[in-house]
Amino acid sequence: MNVSGTRSSAHTLCVGVARCLEGSDCVLDASCGECSGVACTRILSNNMDDNKDIALTCLPYDTRGYRTPQLEEDGCRQVGDRQICICYSHDYCNSTYHRQLMGLSCVLLLINLLNVL
């Protein structure tokens, strides 16, 4: 068994836990799961009929050329009647339940790795 490869996989799995785009609104046919960019944005707008519209967009890889202060900060903010979220991790759409499950999975995986060593 390749222990260093397993450690690398565990690190990637645990670091990729969702940070800002959570909720059941990220349905399979309207998610950023197939995003081929550096980040994903989600804009939630409330319209006059009390409905919510969600727009999901990938930011292109060219945005990596900018220094960090020039990019929008990771996380969500409210602008008027819109909530705008930007996430630079690769786990763009997760529910709170999924995040808790991933956290528990990471802990169990790390315990198993320590037992193997």
Instruction: Confirm if 71 and 5 have CB atoms less than 8 A apart.
Output: no
Average pLDDT for residues 22-32, to the nearest whole number? 44
Average pLDDT for residues 14-41, to the nearest whole number? 48
DSSP H helices in the chain: 3-15, 96-116
Residue position matching structure tokens 């707008």: 45
Q: What is the pLDDT of residue 89?
A: 63
Residues 69, 57: Cα–Cα separation, whole Å: 21
Q: What is the pLDDT of residue 53?
A: 75
The string of pLDDT tens digits covering residues 54-91 is 777 766 666 666 565 566 777 777 888 787 777 766 54
The string of pLDDT tens digits covering residues 32-46 is 555 556 677 777 777
**Per-residue burial over 40-52, b = 16 or more CB atoms within 10 Å of its CB, e = otherwise:** bbbebeeeeeeee
State pTM to two decimals. 0.40
